[in-house]
């Protein structure tokens, strides 16, 4: 169980799963640059968070809802949490409303689980805060203008909890991993700070010279 002082930004999970070096640059070295992609994402989130509370029949909607989990050591804010009214047959001895977190993303669905982990972490925070079990949520993608449901199954929950532990270990180490250049580097807003091609090349030359000296 973590304390209030130990809490890390929930958004760091996605940074971690995208690239551990990027995560350390942001959360250890406090470096941040904005590009077109991050600006579009920031504007989308700001618009969502500024919306007022809504009620639509059997659905109540909260925008920018604060989240916290002392078990995972995470703190953040949910873009949208829909509270769906349960059928009367399910209300006995439990809350009348079931939370359904919805995370907004600028682009399109990704091949990995980084977006799913982020919304799952929101659900785990809500479960701890409200004492309920949340089976599913959703991701809304701005590029496709479509919502994708996400099941919070055992495998995704385990992946999310593991990511939270890895995030704490990385931040506690206070060390920034070495770069490993790949296709995703081109879309990273920290590309010109990270310099993955240059630093990776320097490491390769140093490794080659060290090996040559040992063999001589």
Domain ranges of the chain: 4-176, 178-216
Q: CB within 8 A of 52, min separation 6: which ones?
A: 63
SS3 at position 191: helix
| pTM summary value | 0.79
Q: How many residues does the chain have?
A: 216
CA distance 24 to 174: 8
Of 68, 38, 63, give the one whose Cα is nearest residue 49.
63
The count of C-alpha atoms lying within 13 angstroms of the C-alpha of 53, restricted to the half-sphere facing its C-beta, is 5
Taking only the tens place, the pLDDT of each residue in 143-194 is 899 999 999 999 999 999 999 999 999 999 999 998 888 888 888 888 777 8
Low-confidence ranges of the chain (pLDDT < 50): 36, 204-209, 211-212
134 touches 126 (CB < 8 A): yes
CATH of 4-176, one of 3.90.1280.10, 1.10.4080.10, 3.40.50.300, 3.90.320.10: 3.90.320.10
Residue 179 DSSP code? P
């Amino acid at each position: 169980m973590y304390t209030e002082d130990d809490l890390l930004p929930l958004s760091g999970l996605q940074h971690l799963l995208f690239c551990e070096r990027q995560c350390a640059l942001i959360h250890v070295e406090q470096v941040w640059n904005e590009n077109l992609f991050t600006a579009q994402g920031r504007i989308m989130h700001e618009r969502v968070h500024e919306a007022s509370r809504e009620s639509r029949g059997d659905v109540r909607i909260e925008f920018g809802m604060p989240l916290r989990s002392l078990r995972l050591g995470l703190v953040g804010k949910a873009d949208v949490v829909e509270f769906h009214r349960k059928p009367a047959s399910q209300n006995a001895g439990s809350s009348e409303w079931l939370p359904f977190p919805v995370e907004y993303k600028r682009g399109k669905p990704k091949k990995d689980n980084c977006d799913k982990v982020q919304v799952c972490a929101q659900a785990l925070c809500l479960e701890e805060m409200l004492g309920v079990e949340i089976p599913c949520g959703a991701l809304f993608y701005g590029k496709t203008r479509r919502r994708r449901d996400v099941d919070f199954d055992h495998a995704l929950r385990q992946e999310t909890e593991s990511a939270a532990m890895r995030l704490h270990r990385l931040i506690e180490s206070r060390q920034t991993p070495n770069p490993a250049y790949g296709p995703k580097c081109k879309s990273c807003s920290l590309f010109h700070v990270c310099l993955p091609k240059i630093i990776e090349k320097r490491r390769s030359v140093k490794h080659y010279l060290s090996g040559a000296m040992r063999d001589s």
